[in-house]
Amino acid sequence: MPCILLTGATGYIASHTWLALLEAGWDVVGIDNFCNSSPRVLERLAELSGRVPSFVEGDVRDAQSLDRAFALGQQRWGGVQAVVHFAALKAVGESTEKPLEYFANNIGGLVATCQALQRHTAADQPLRMVFSSSATVYGKPEQLPIREDAPLSATNPYGATKLMGEQILAELQRCDARWLIASLRYFNPVGAHPSGRIGEDPRGVPNNLMPYVAQVAVGQRERLNVFGQDYDTPDGTGVRDYIHICDLADGHVAALRHLFEQGRSLTVNLGTGRGYSVLEVARAYEKASGREVPLHFAPRRPGDVDACYADPTLAAQALGWRARRDIDDMCADSWRWQSQNPRGFNG
Ligand code: NAD
Ligand code: UD1
């Protein structure tokens, strides 16, 4: 089986994808600079897979670090045959305070990774790249569910890096038919591996709903601030398409298979197609954890939209992939991770 290089390899989505790839029989090499993850992830991956992870600590903006990762792939598995580019900074609020850091890291890192892939691929071979995009590229959606051909826009620097990332990759394809690109537009990844050994470990106060709810349920935070109750949704709170992290990981395996077997690029939503409100998530979490999640109604968060959920039809047709796990699985697996690791990888 081919060897895949994961950038941002010890992060939340990449670590679950790493396991899914190993389970599907692929070989994996990872690179990460630990700017938003812990080296302990590698110990947990070793424990879960029974294999020592092939890993390079380094920054993807640094050509030499990338060269070391490709060299490791060459030495262990005969060469890297595709890259999944997860490495990026992802906090929307922070991106408005430090836009240049976001452009330098997310755009600089993508370009350097593409250059390295090109450097390490024979001239007659395809350049296969899977890119972590986001539903944020749809801006304020005009129609629901959201199809891939919906209008695109960026409402903050983070979103702009995802939109530009897709555009850069589309230009590469236009210039050189060797590029095979899968841009995956993730909706809202949540939950954890069912083992409870890896999961999301945000630094500081979580920005996103499910990790915040998890910390309330475990007693680290007093109550959930519900941002807005006057949205145009059935209960007035924001509606999102939450997707189990293991379904999302499987989506990457399917996208890679597509690149290898079909030899065609694609841009595709990875979501469930079903939206849940903030109140529905809080209730589902109470059920899964047996703990109370006290609520405090707070003003809207700037930049938030009423509702956002995917049309997942293209993913089913093109990749033969659909999300299988429901909101109860998402909450139960999140809770297992949170309650067994109350301080994340440091606990
Ligand atoms: P994460 O922060 O857990 O993982 C990103 C990893 O990249 C971290 O381990 C970090 O240390 C590493 N990294 C960042 N910059 C790097 C650099 N220059 N060199 C090497 N490593 C670097 O985030 P995640 O949630 O796993 O997200 C993965 C990807 O998916 C990102 O591109 C993110 O923008 C995208 N995405 C995430 C979500 C989400 O809700 N989690 C939604 C849509 C898209
Ligand atoms: C956020 C980002 C988006 C990114 C996505 C996945 C913003 C404006 N958008 O989207 O760009 O792609 O995360 O990483 O930050 N909520 C609360 N209380 C909380 C936290 C959230 O009520 O403490 C509500 C929000 O208002 C929203 C819903 O929960 O209605 C989901 O929020 P969140 O998990 O942050 O995801 P998104 O807003 O979809």
Q: What is the pLDDT of residues 68-127, one digit of tens each?
A: 999 999 999 999 999 999 999 999 999 999 999 999 999 999 999 999 999 999 999 999
Ligand 2 mutation target, pool 94, 208, 240, 293, most atoms within 8 A of CB: 208
Domain-located, residue 181: yes
Instruction: List the CATH number of the domain containing 167.
Output: 3.40.50.720
Overall number of domains in the chain: 1
Structure tokens at 244: 């189990």
Cis peptide bond prior to 145, omega within 30° of 0: yes
Domain membership flag for residue 345? no
* Confidence at residue 134, expressed as pLDDT on a 0 to 100 scale: 98
Residue 262: which domain range?
3-192+242-271
**162 belongs to a structural domain:** yes
pTM of the model: 0.98
The answer as to whether 185 is a domain residue is yes
Residue 230: the pLDDT is: 97
| Side-chain half-sphere exposure of 43, counting CA atoms within 13 A | 6
pLDDT digits (tens, 9 = 90+) for 17-69: 999 999 999 999 999 999 999 999 999 999 999 999 999 999 999 999 999 99
Q: Is the confidence at residue 347, as pLDDT, over 90?
A: no
Summarised one tens digit per residue, pLDDT across range 329-342 is: 999 999 999 999 99
Domain membership of residue 224 (yes or no) is no
What is the reported pLDDT for 318?
98
Instruction: Tell me what the mean pLDDT of segment 157-172 comes to.
Output: 98
> Above 90 in pLDDT, residue 274?
yes
Look up 309 and say whether it is catalytic.
Answer: no
Q: Is residue 55 part of a domain?
A: yes
**Catalytic pick among 12, 158, 231, 309:** 158
Cα(175) to centroid(ligand 1), Å: 28
The string over 206-244, giving b where at least 16 C-beta atoms fall within 10 Å of a residue's C-beta and e elsewhere, is: bebbbbbbbbbbbeebeebebbbbebebeebbbbbbbbb
**Which stretches does DSSP call E strand in 138-263?**
179-186, 188-190, 224-227, 239-240, 242-244
Tell me what pLDDT residue 308 has.
97
Ligand 2 geometric centre to CA of 255 (Å):
26
The tens digit of pLDDT for each residue in 224-243 reads: 999 999 999 999 999 999 99
Angle at 120 between CA 116 and CA 124, to 5 degrees: 120
25 CB-near residues (< 8 Å, 6+ apart): 1
Q: Are 122 and 42 in contact (CB under 8 A)?
A: no
What does the pLDDT read at residue 1? 86
- Measured in Å, residue 156 CA sits from the centre of ligand 2 at 14
Q: Is residue 207 part of a domain?
A: no
Q: Report the mean per-residue pLDDT for the chain.
A: 97
Q: What percent of the chain has pLDDT over 70?
A: 100
Residue 314's pLDDT band, with cuts at 50, 70 and 90, is very high
* CA-proximal residue: ligand 1, atom 4 (nearest): 11
DSSP letter at 82 equals: E
Check residue 130 and give its pLDDT.
Answer: 99
Q: Is residue 201 part of a domain?
A: no
Query: What value does the mean pLDDT take over residues 253-259?
Result: 98
